[in-house]
Amino acid sequence: MMNVTGILTAAAVVSLVGIFVGLFLGVAGLKFRVEVDEREAAVLAALPGNNCGGCGFAGCSGLASAIAEGKADVNACPVGGDAVGKRIAAIMGVQATDREPLTAFVHCQGDCGKAGVDYTYTGVQDCRVMEFVPGGGAKSCNSGCLGFGSCVKVCPFDAIHVKNGVAVVDRKKCKACGKCVEVCPKKLISLIPYKARTAVACKSTDKGAVTVAACSAGCVGCGICVKNCPAQAVSVSEFHAQIDMEKCTGCGICVEKCPKGSIVRI
């Protein structure tokens, strides 16, 4: 027959241990608890939750913490834009400044019909490994888009795709997170104002003769665009045209005058 006294003793011991552990955990929780800034939680709730890292912080939680601590602007989220920035400004009790919308743009038109090819490549389909292959890739232009879609793989918004050998951005989907900009080994992608209407779709800095031999749409640095721009927004450096977006009025004269079609309407 089971000893009743032993059972009661065991039950009492277990109860006392449970009470002790509960008290210990309660005291430890009070002593080591981390104070949570209510504003940080509210900011995190206001953010879109894409965790793309386009703000420069480790996801939305990292940005929320930085905003709450005053280490980041309230409109630092490129995905949320001004709408989210204004909501966060209200939470933080500050005035939100307007942030110019940006979009990614690929400075290359060297597709399969325009860019020459030096050899047939059948290796790893990743732009980032091209620095280890002869000539930096099979295309004759060493400055052109490699077309293996490393940018496509990192885009969290399905806003960029390779078409006919060249990456193309869907401006309506692009949130300007900058992932594609970071991953492109040729530095062909940049963030430009969404309102921009013209851009130079070439990054080659080779001499004209070299560029012409490599791609029919490459900029040769002839300077015709410079001479015809009424806003003096175009310049040529290292055989390459560049547009000052702050000066550009979008008149399109440079697009019409460019003999190689290197400047395009967007």
Domain boundaries, the chain: 38-92, 101-194, 196-266
| Statement: the pTM of the whole predicted model exceeds 0.95 | no
Greater confidence (98 vs 257) lies with 257
Q: Which of 101, 111, 182, 183 is nearest to 146 (CA)?
A: 111
Superfamily of domain 38-92: Electron transport complex subunit B, putative Fe-S cluster (1.10.15.40)
Distance CA 58, CA 53 (A): 6
pLDDT tens for 212-257 read: 999 999 999 999 999 999 999 999 999 999 999 999 999 999 999 9
| CB crowding 124-151: b at 16 or more within 10 Å, else e | eeebeebeeeeebbbbbbbbbbbbbbbb
Please report which confidence band the pLDDT of residue 87 belongs to, taking 50, 70 and 90 as the band edges.
Answer: very high
Q: Does domain 196-266 have CATH number 3.40.50.720?
A: no
Mapped onto helix, strand or coil, the DSSP state of residue 117 is strand
Domains 38-92 and 101-194 share a fold: no
Q: Residue type for 170, please?
A: D
Q: Which of 5, 75, 8, 13 is nearest to 47 (CA)?
A: 75
Instruction: Indicate if the pLDDT at residue 10 is higher than 80.
Output: no
The pLDDT of residue 6: 63
- Beta strand spans in the chain (E): 102-106, 160-163, 166-169, 189-193, 198-200, 234-237, 240-243, 263-265
**DSSP-derived pairing of the beta strands 189-193 and 198-200:** unpaired
CATH class held by domain 101-194: alpha beta
